[in-house]
């Protein structure tokens, strides 16, 4: 089952402070949804691609463009797939623009864009902080970011489910929130899923990430980050 321009796919948005497992969780959810027979795809975090390509973090004047591109990637994927798992939304760009630059001007548009998501998963602060190149500032920023994310979700009228747990437990917590949205029975498992890990194995015939929605330059970059050649 795929989506169409008249009936956009359902978006599952992952938001949360740095080093709270959003990227790994987005991939795990997309794999498990695929194994359950759904046309699902993950949309990568555009900010990560920007930082890798530019070799630096963005300036204040670049924040809006990054937020807009993140929203574009999600909408593009939603026009072509039944379910989209978004590894962050424009809301996180607005939050960090506020936290780093004291610029609150991105919130209104970001909150409206985020409200298009059918489900929001907020990743908790229970994971240990891990360095990740240019993108992460330190464990000390996580509480302030988490507070801003929650406030923005409340302002935008976007209800959310909290996701906690280590390893497979985190995936299971997210999956429990996803099943009712998609009409899947509680505890549903995909045909290629490993019972021990709680994650689905990747079907090689399916694309896990929406690479076709990326600019060719970033598609190649993202493929290198994943450790494979572009398809």
CATH numbers and ranges of domains, the chain = 10-226 (3.40.50.300)
Judge whether residue 24 has pLDDT over 80: yes
CB 223 within 8 A of CB 229: yes
Query: How confident is the model at residue 130, as a pLDDT?
Result: 78
Close Cβ partners of 89 (under 8 Å, ≥ 6 residues apart): 13, 15, 70, 71, 74, 110, 113, 114, 117
Give the tens place of pLDDT for each residue, 75-109: 999 999 999 999 999 999 999 999 999 999 999 99
Q: What's the pLDDT band for 197 if we cut at 50, 70, 90?
A: very low
What pTM does this model have?
A: 0.82
Query: How confident is the model at residue 220, as a pLDDT?
Result: 59
């Amino acid at each position: 089952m795929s989506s169409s321009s008249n009936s956009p796919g359902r978006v599952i948005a992952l938001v949360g402070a740095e080093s709270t497992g959003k990227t790994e969780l987005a991939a795990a959810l997309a794999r498990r949804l695929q194994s359950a027979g759904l046309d699902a795809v993950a949309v990568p975090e555009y900010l990560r691609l920007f930082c890798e390509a530019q070799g630096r973090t963005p300036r204040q004047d670049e924040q809006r463009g990054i937020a807009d591109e993140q929203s574009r990637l999600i909408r593009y994927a939603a026009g072509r797939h039944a379910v989209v798992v978004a590894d962050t939304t424009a809301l996180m760009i607005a939050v960090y623009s506020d936290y780093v630059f004291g610029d609150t001007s991105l919130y209104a548009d970001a909150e409206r864009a985020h409200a298009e998501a059918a489900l929001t998963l907020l990743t908790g602060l229970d994971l240990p902080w891990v360095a990740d190149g240019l993108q992460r500032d330190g464990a000390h920023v996580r509480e302030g970011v988490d507070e801003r994310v929650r406030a923005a979700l409340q302002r935008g009228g976007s209800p959310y489910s909290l996701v906690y747990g280590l390893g497979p437990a985190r995936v299971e917590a997210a999956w429990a929130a996803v099943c009712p949205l998609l009409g899947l029975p509680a505890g549903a498992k995909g045909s290629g899923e490993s019972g021990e890990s709680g994650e689905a194995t990747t079907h090689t015939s399916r694309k896990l990430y929406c690479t076709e929605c990326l600019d060719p330059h970033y598609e190649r970059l993202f493929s290198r980050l994943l450790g494979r050649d572009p398809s």
